[in-house]
Amino acid sequence: MSTQPDAHIHYGVWIKWDHNAIAGSTINLSSRSDNFLTAFLALFVGMAGTAAWKILAFSVHQLRATF
């Protein structure tokens, strides 16, 4: 943990131009915002994984079904 005050830290989205615009894209968040982002991403990945599994299971079922 740094002992410096947060007055000199830029929060938000910015680009490190040492790299290109995609690889240099950076986001700095406060600890509170970081926790919210982590929780949101965990929920989003969980729901996306569940949906992907359902689609995969249905696809496999359709491929193996006989008429």
pLDDT of 49 above 80 = yes
Closest CA to 13 of 24, 32, 28, 23: 28
Question: What does the pLDDT look like over 1-42, one tens digit per residue?
Answer: 556 666 678 889 989 899 989 999 999 999 899 999 999 999
Residue owning tokens 């700095």:
28
The predicted pLDDT at position 8 comes to: 79
The predicted pLDDT at position 36 comes to: 95
The predicted pLDDT at position 61 comes to: 96
Residue ranges of domains in the chain: 6-64
